[in-house]
Amino acid sequence: MAPIPVKPGIYKVHAHIIGPTSLLTATEHALKHGAPVITDRLNPLPIEQEWAVEPAEPVPGAPYVIHLAYHGEAGLVVQEDKLWVNAAPRPEWAQFTFERVIGGVKILSDKGLALRAGHRGAQIQLTAPQPEFQETWTLEFIRPLGEE
């Protein structure tokens, strides 16, 4: 499928896994490559579950980078086919595209691997794309970039 454009802004990213709603969530404790990114229940404070999605470059069709909305220096990185959040320099952040699939979107890395949510609490993995619900996500638009 062809990539689709996504409106730059602040989002909650919902996983399509069995059980209560689960959101893409930054954990609190950093390890080797940063803090693991998991799926978790809705938290009352949005600081770990709201993500800024914006083009990597200011050109039409550019891939997107994703970072914590409340910590603009903490972007998503991919190491060992797992998703991490790290205060690495922006050029080291992973770049993503989005494809429309039944029920939501598929999020693909610049290497063509899909974000996959195994179960609530598991770290997000990147795998070869398959037509499975664990690779389907819903982007809930919260507000434009720059608004509180």
Range of the domain at 20: 9-143
pTM, entire model: 0.93
Q: Which residues pair with 141 in a beta bridge?
A: 11
Q: Is residue 134, in this structure, part of any structural domain at all? A: yes
Whether the CB-CB separation of 120 and 134 falls below 8 Å is answered with no
- CA–CA gap between residue 122 and residue 134 (Å, rounded): 12
Q: Is residue 2, in this structure, part of any structural domain at all? A: no
Per-residue pLDDT of the chain (148 residues; tens, 9 = 90+): 789 999 999 999 999 887 678 999 999 877 888 999 999 998 877 889 999 999 999 999 999 999 999 999 999 999 999 999 999 999 999 999 999 999 999 999 999 999 999 888 899 999 999 999 999 999 999 999 987 7
Length of the chain: 148
Q: Is residue 135, in this structure, part of any structural domain at all? A: yes
pLDDT at 44: 74
Q: Is residue 96, in this structure, part of any structural domain at all? A: yes
| Number of structural domains in the chain | 1
Neighbours of 49 (CB within 10 A): 24
As to burial, measured by CB atoms within 10 angstroms (0-12 exposed, 13-18 middle, 19+ buried), residue 136 is: buried
Say which CATH number the domain at 23 has. 2.80.10.50
Those residues with Cβ within 8 angstroms of residue 64's Cβ, 6 or more apart along the chain or in another chain: 6, 53, 54, 55, 56, 95, 96, 97, 98
